[in-house]
Structure 1
Amino acid sequence: MKAVGSGRAEPLRVRRVEYRSDLVVLVVDGCVEISSAAVLGDAFARAMADRACRVIVGDLTAVRFLSAAGLRVLVEAAADARARGIRLGLVASESITMRVLRMSGVAATIPVFTALSDGIRELAAGAGGPDPAGPGRARRGGTA
């Protein structure tokens, strides 16, 4: 997908945020298309290679385009995570990305949340880890 007015493909950026040693959030920004899907796949693979990692949350709220190649990467990452005993989920606001995830059926096979805090809380709870907000840290919308 071209960036508006630039004539060049928009780069895909994936930033890794370690909330805890066992919980990684991959913040994805840009367009996930055939030419950039491997960037996303590599980020998931690197997170899964970390032996301490038990939970991965893919934050897709800043994704502006999600192609079939991107959907394939997400489905493959989820299958890989299940095989390794890692809980994987996605965050997508009520945007085109959420519609693509729902219409493709991916949202029926991978947990999808509309807020990052919900995804972290639900996935971390299922992994049996401590409170993702941490001891004495405020949760969004309330206190610890």
Structure 2
Amino acid sequence: MGHPFEGLSDVLTAHTTEHQGVAVVALTGEVDMLTEEIGLDEVLSAVEKAPARVVVDLQEIEFFGSSGINLLLIAQREARARKIPLGVVAAHHVVLSPLAATGVDVRLRLFPDLGAALRELADSARAELPTR
């Protein structure tokens, strides 16, 4: 028997890069009950490395259902437990509609693009620095 995700990497890909001290987890493709673990594993791996901040970039998502919402809520819970701010880049109706329909959109820090997420998270980091 092969790896449980065998063949699913064509449906959802996930990779993490570092931008300005922020771990950016980019998901591409479809997030459903078959692929959720691929994305969740990547996001939780980024959170466990304890970066200053984490951004989940959903700009290239083509399908986003309840499994995607679950992924974001678990990621948010784990990031909060470690006191790591988490932002979500979501600009397309494919992602925004399910988030709005379930009310989850108001529970997450949503950004229209990666640049906005990086700027705001960097600004919030500077605001948290102690002054002399």
TM-score under structure 1 length normalisation: 0.76
1:48 aligns with 2:47: yes
Which position in structure 2 is the counterpart of 1:115?
A: 113
Q: What SS does the corresponding residue of 1:78 show, helix, strand or coil?
A: helix
Q: Distance in 2 between matches of 1:107 and 1:124?
A: 22
Q: Distance in 1 between matches of 2:117 and 2:103?
A: 19
Which position in structure 2 is the counterpart of 1:29?
A: 28
**Corresponding letter in the other structure for 2:41:** D
Structure 1 segments unaligned to the other structure (5+ residues): 1-7, 130-144
**Corresponding letter in the other structure for 2:43:** F
Q: Distance in 2 between matches of 1:28 and 1:94?
A: 14
Which position in structure 2 is the counterpart of 1:74?
A: 72
Report the alpha carbon displacement of residue 48 of structure 1 after superposing the two structures with TM: 1.1
Q: Distance in 2 between matches of 1:128 and 1:38?
A: 34
Deviation digits for residues 1-59 of structure 1 (CA, Å, limit 9, x no counterpart): xxxxxxx8752001211113x311111100000011011111111101113x0111111
Structure 1 runs (4+) deviating above 4 angstroms are: none
TM-score under structure 2 length normalisation: 0.83
Q: What SS does the corresponding residue of 2:76 show, helix, strand or coil?
A: helix
Which position in structure 1 is the counterpart of 2:3?
A: none
Which position in structure 1 is the counterpart of 2:84?
A: 86
Q: Comparing both structures, which one devotes a greater share of its residues to helix?
A: 2
- Partners of 1:32 and 1:67 within 8 A in 2: yes
Q: What SS does the corresponding residue of 1:24 show, helix, strand or coil?
A: strand
Which position in structure 1 is the counterpart of 2:130?
A: none
Residue range with higher mean Cα deviation, 119-128 or 56-65: 119-128
Report the alpha carbon displacement of residue 123 of structure 1 after superposing the two structures with TM: 1.7
Greater relative contact order, per chain length (Cα 8 Å cut-off, separation 6+) = 2
Number of equivalenced pairs: 120
Which position in structure 2 is the counterpart of 1:59?
A: 57
Deviation digits for residues 80-138 of structure 1 (CA, Å, limit 9, x no counterpart): 10110101011111322111122221210011111111111112222338xxxxxxxxx
Structure 2 segments unaligned to the other structure (5+ residues): 1-6, 128-132
